[in-house]
């Protein structure tokens, strides 16, 4: 029976239970009763608790003296040479943040004092698990890290495209990442969670169940960085000039709306263009279609925190937007690519502890650990404590300090005094009025390794997330879980996961069990707190219920042949341009085709190198001869068949019917297949594209 407790089962081992045995090399090992080796530090000291960092009170801040946590994170931060341990595959762009109005009521942060002020920004998007050379569309969390170069120093909002996380305490971060990375004895799988180690850890870590629902949903397969939401994950504080505190959660809402791809599509995109997300961001900015997000804040006081159903310090929980609507406070625009990828995107250093005066931290134990850990990461990856001397990391406001020397120092204090206080009247001084001041919260309680009881409900919000999805999205989650667990070789791990899923939703657990061939359902996992089934669905958690309902920023791929109607293509391109969308032409050969009127139609792709998965919708504009010829070309048939299978809108001309039929697509099957024959039909097709997909088609398709 799986337990929700984060402590190991059985009586804790004491020094009297330990037995010393010599290994093959003559070294002594400590064993607890029963023969299980006792976990120790690298110095050999026995560890009493590897699940919880040392805190001041059950919900208090993490204590600096926690040497086991420090050693564990220190080693983890230095594991990878030379790439990042996590978020290795990233892509970034420059831009600016524009404040809508003053937020002086809530914070004294300078960035929020004046309406209309623009602050330089750099944003890095990334996958988490894969290496630098992995693919863009792995099923994974996406990093969404924003560096704001404010007039009071750099502010890093280091978040993800998912508002919750796998673990509640930073001491478990090395474990979750170790479990998802390539298994150490074989060095694979790469950029995948579909293997035994990951699901073994997850099945033994009930606090991960909410995050698992998100990662198995379409949120983990974004169509583009531009169509992706961002979250600060943790609860932070805003502190105003009167030293009054307001809790805050950060949300980045994409102007172009949310959109994802499905798994079969992602697999094929990774084969056709492993740089799909990078290319999309590059093309958008280079063409002047600058991506934009709106910063929205969930602001709440201590009274709300005290009455909320869950602990606001728990990073595996969120606050539903229907309960606490986010308030728009500014916009983020990306309008310039880096001049050099390595110098900027690779060398940028984000740290959660980088906050301006007026922004402060909560006691979220995962946030506390991140604040403690990130300096180590930068030292290892960038090779020097002077990583802030790199232009991408340097503040854009005046800065003064006494830090000196070190590897690759590019600037040092000037003058006689490099210390403070000094008698020479040289150098900067602290400012109690303008400097950063921590909120004077009152903490009490014993120093102990403990998980607050208010963190113990691991299933209720996971259930709420699942119930908030459309039937289509729920099916995708079930299929994702089935695929991932089908790659797990150990049957006990699969059964443990099904036991957890039964706590999330009976039908979900039963569906996954059936698809995995588990004949006898295991009992649901034991819980320490009864799972709530009274939480209302939150439509804000669904992608399909929050789609843009417009085709702006998307792309149509048009397959053509010699003899194609150039006027029809021009009409289609014009109609798409009015919607803020683009069109790319695919031809049987490189270069293009000759139109019916004798003019030349340039093509960006040839059919063998441009599958329909690269586009949001497709059209087939061919001559009668071209339609017949392309019906015998496997890549052309696959182009149409995949578009139909992936529930995309398809436009065609009469001459394309032979190709459509050979691809298994009936032209009158559903409302997503449109005949083009006049300007009016073009307009009807383009207008329909705002729905993005024809999800009603999916139940009839077997992927």
Per residue in 130-149, pLDDT (tens digit) is 999 999 999 999 999 999 99
Q: Given pLDDT bands bounded at 50, 70 and 90, which one contains residue 5? A: very low
Residue identified by tokens 């997850």 is 202
Q: How far is Cα 608 from Cα 634, in angstroms, rounded to an integer?
A: 9
**Does residue 77 surpass a pLDDT of 90?**
no
Question: What pLDDT score does 64 carry?
Answer: 82
Instruction: Give yes or no: 160 in active site.
Output: yes
**Residue 15 belongs to a domain:** no
**Does residue 3 surpass a pLDDT of 80?**
no
List the catalytic residue out of 87, 195, 500, 646.
Answer: 87
Whether residues 539 and 588 share a domain: the answer is: no
Question: What pLDDT score does 15 carry?
Answer: 36
Whether residues 667 and 561 share a domain: the answer is: yes
Whether residues 575 and 495 share a domain: the answer is: no
Q: How far is Cα 101 from Cα 488, in angstroms, rounded to an integer?
A: 51
**Residue 434 belongs to a domain:** no
**Does residue 22 surpass a pLDDT of 70?**
no
Whether residues 220 and 303 share a domain: the answer is: yes
**Residue 60 belongs to a domain:** no
Q: How far is Cα 329 from Cα 685, in angstroms, rounded to an integer?
A: 36
Range name among 214-223, 518-527, 693-702 with the lowest pLDDT average: 693-702
Question: What pLDDT score does 12 carry?
Answer: 38
Percentage of the chain beyond pLDDT 70 is 94
Whether residues 320 and 220 share a domain: the answer is: yes
Residue 100 lies in domain: 71-389
Domain end (from 544, 567, 593): 544
Whether residues 515 and 553 share a domain: the answer is: no
Alpha helices (H) in 248-328, listed in sequence order: 263-272, 276-286, 302-307
What pTM was estimated for this model as a whole?
0.90
Average pLDDT over residues 13-29: 45
Q: What one-character DSSP code corresponds to residue 45?
A: P
**Residue 111 belongs to a domain:** yes
Average pLDDT over residues 383-405: 89
- CATH code of the domain covering residue 492: 1.20.1370.20
- CATH code of the domain covering residue 665: 3.40.50.880
Residue 216: which of 548, 532, 525, 500 has the closest Cα?
500
Instruction: Give yes or no: 393 in active site.
Output: no
Question: What pLDDT score does 44 carry?
Answer: 76
How remote is the C-alpha of 453 from its chain's centroid?
A: 28
- Helices 263-272 and 471-486, interaxial angle, to 10°? 60
CA 691, 693, 698, 701 dihedral sign is positive
| Total number of domains constituting the chain | 3
Average pLDDT over residues 516-544: 97
**Does residue 9 surpass a pLDDT of 70?**
no
**Does residue 285 surpass a pLDDT of 70?**
yes
Domain end (from 544, 566, 591): 544
Angle at 596 between CA 594 and CA 599, to 5 degrees: 50
Local structure of 112: helix, strand or coil: helix
638-673, pLDDT tens digit by residue?
A: 999 999 999 999 999 999 999 999 999 988 879 999
**Does residue 14 surpass a pLDDT of 50?**
no
**Does residue 1 surpass a pLDDT of 60?**
no
Whether residues 491 and 616 share a domain: the answer is: no
Q: How far is Cα 17 from Cα 627, in angstroms, rounded to an integer?
A: 79
Average pLDDT over residues 203-225: 98
Whether residues 106 and 241 share a domain: the answer is: yes
DSSP 316-361: T----TTTS--EEEEEEEEEE--SSHIIIIIT----TT---TTEEE
Average pLDDT over residues 590-596: 95
List the catalytic residue out of 160, 371, 386, 479.
Answer: 160
Question: What pLDDT score does 403 carry?
Answer: 85
Q: For the stretch 250-259, what's the b/e string if a residue is b when 16 or more beta carbons lie within 10 angstroms of its beta carbon?
A: bbbbbbbbbb
Whether residues 92 and 217 share a domain: the answer is: yes
- CATH code of the domain covering residue 338: 2.40.180.10
Residue predicted with more confidence, 698 or 82 = 698
Q: How far is Cα 239 from Cα 299, in angstroms, rounded to an integer?
A: 12
**Residue 673 belongs to a domain:** yes
* Tokens describing residue 535: 């939480």
Question: What pLDDT score does 21 carry?
Answer: 52
Q: How far is Cα 50 from Cα 449, in angstroms, rounded to an integer?
A: 9
Local structure of 463: helix, strand or coil: helix
**Residue 50 belongs to a domain:** no
544-572, pLDDT tens digit by residue?
A: 999 899 999 999 999 999 999 999 999 99
Residue predicted with more confidence, 172 or 36 = 172
* Tokens describing residue 41: 């530090």
Question: What pLDDT score does 75 carry?
Answer: 76
**Does residue 83 surpass a pLDDT of 60?**
yes
**Does residue 11 surpass a pLDDT of 80?**
no
Q: How far is Cα 352 from Cα 336, in angstroms, rounded to an integer?
A: 24
Whether residues 384 and 246 share a domain: the answer is: yes
Domain end (from 544, 579, 613): 544
Whether residues 223 and 90 share a domain: the answer is: yes
CA 401, 406, 407, 409 dihedral sign is positive
Phi, psi of 315 (to 5 degrees): -75, -5
- Determine contact, residues 611/651, Cβ cutoff 8 Å: no
**Residue 429 belongs to a domain:** no
DSSP 66-94: -HHHHHHHHHHHT-SSSS-SSS-SEEEEE
**Residue 687 belongs to a domain:** yes
Q: How far is Cα 524 from Cα 410, in angstroms, rounded to an integer?
A: 60
Q: How far is CA 84 from CA 133, 381, 451, in A?
A: 12, 7, 29
Contacts of 26 (CB under 8 A, 6+ apart): none
Local structure of 474: helix, strand or coil: helix
Range name among 1-5, 341-345, 577-581 with the lowest pLDDT average: 1-5
**Does residue 393 surpass a pLDDT of 90?**
yes
Question: What pLDDT score does 118 carry?
Answer: 97
* Residue 473 host element (H or E): helix 471-486
Average pLDDT over residues 614-627: 98
Whether residues 515 and 625 share a domain: the answer is: no
């Amino acid at each position: 029976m799986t337990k929700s407790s984060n402590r190991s089962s059985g009586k804790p081992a004491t020094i009297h239970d330990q037995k010393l045995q010599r290994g093959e090399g003559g070294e002594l090992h400590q064993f607890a009763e029963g023969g299980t080796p006792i976990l120790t530090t690298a110095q050999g000291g026995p560890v009493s608790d590897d699940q919880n960092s040392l805190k001041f009170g059950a919900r208090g801040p993490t204590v600096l003296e926690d040497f086991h946590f420090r050693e564990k994170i220190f080693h983890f931060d230095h594991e990878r040479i030379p790439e990042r341990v996590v978020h290795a595959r990233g892509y970034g762009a420059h831009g600016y943040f524009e404040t809508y109005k003053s937020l002086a009521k809530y914070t004294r942060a300078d960035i929020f004092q004046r309406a209309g002020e623009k602050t330089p920004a750099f944003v890095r998007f990334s996958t988490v698990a894969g290496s630098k050379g992995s693919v863009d569309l792995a099923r994974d969390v996406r990093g969404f890290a924003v560096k704001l170069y404010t007039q009071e120093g750099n502010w890093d909002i280091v978040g993800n495209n998912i508002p919750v996380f796998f673990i509640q305490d930073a001491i478990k971060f090395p474990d979750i990442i170790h479990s998802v990375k390539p298994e150490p004895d074989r060095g694979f799988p790469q950029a995948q969670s579909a293997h035994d180690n990951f699901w073994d850890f997850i099945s033994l870590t009930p606090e991960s169940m909410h995050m698992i629902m998100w990662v198995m949903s379409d949120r983990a397969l974004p169509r583009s960085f531009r169509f992706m939401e961002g979250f600060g994950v943790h609860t932070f504080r805003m502190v105003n000039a009167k030293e009054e505190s307001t809790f805050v959660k950060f949300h980045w809402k994409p102007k172009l709306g949310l959109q994802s791809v499905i798994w079969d599509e992602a697999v094929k995109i990774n084969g056709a263009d492993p740089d799909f997300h990078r290319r999309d961001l590059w093309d958008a900015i280079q063409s002047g279609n600058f991506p934009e997000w709106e910063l929205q804040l969930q602001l709440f006081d201590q009274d709300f925190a005290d009455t909320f159903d869950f602990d606001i310090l728990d990073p595996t929980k969120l606050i539903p937007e229907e309960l606490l609507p986010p308030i728009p406070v500014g916009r983020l625009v990306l309008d310039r690519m880096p001049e050099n990828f390595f110098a900027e995107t690779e060398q940028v250093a984000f740290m959660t502890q980088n906050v301006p005066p007026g922004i402060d931290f909560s006691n979220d134990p995962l946030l506390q650990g991140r604040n403690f850990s990130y300096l180590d990461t930068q030292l290892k990856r960038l090779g020097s404590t002077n990583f802030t001397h790199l232009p991408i990391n340097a503040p854009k406001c005046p800065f003064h300090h006494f830090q000196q020397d070190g590897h690759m120092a590019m600037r040092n204090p000037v003058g006689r005094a490099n210390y403070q206080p000094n008698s020479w009247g040289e150098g900067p001084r602290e400012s109690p009025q303008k400097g950063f001041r921590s909120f004077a919260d009152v903490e009490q309680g014993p120093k102990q390794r403990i998980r607050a009881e208010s963190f113990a409900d691991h299933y209720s919000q996971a259930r709420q997330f699942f119930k908030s999805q459309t039937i289509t999205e729920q099916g995708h989650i079930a299929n994702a879980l089935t695929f991932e667990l089908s790659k797990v070789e150990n049957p006990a791990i699969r059964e443990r996961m099904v036991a957890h899923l039964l706590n999330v939703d009976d039908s979900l657990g039963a569906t996954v069990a059936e698809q995995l061939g588990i004949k006898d359902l295991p009992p649901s996992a034991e819980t320490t707190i009864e799972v709530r089934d009274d939480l209302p669905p939150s439509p804000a958690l669904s992608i399909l219920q929050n789609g843009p309902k417009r085709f702006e920023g998307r792309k149509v791929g048009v397959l053509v042949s010699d003899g194609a109607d150039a006027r029809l293509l021009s009409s289609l391109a014009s109609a798409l341009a009015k919607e803020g969308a683009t069109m790319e032409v695919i031809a049987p050969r490189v270069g293009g085709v000759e139109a019916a009127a004798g003019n030349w139609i340039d093509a960006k792709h040839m059919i063998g190198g441009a599958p329909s998965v690269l586009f949001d919708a497709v059209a087939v504009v061919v001559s009668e001869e071209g339609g017949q010829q392309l019906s015998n070309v496997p890549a052309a048939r696959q182009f149409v068949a995949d578009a139909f299978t992936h529930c995309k809108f398809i436009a065609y001309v009469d001459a394309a019917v032979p190709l459509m039929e050979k691809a298994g697509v009936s032209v009158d099957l559903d409302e997503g297949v449109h005949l083009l024959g006049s300007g009016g039909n073009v307009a009807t097709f383009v207008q329909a594209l705002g729905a993005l997909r024809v999800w009603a088609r999916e139940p009839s398709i077997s992927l």
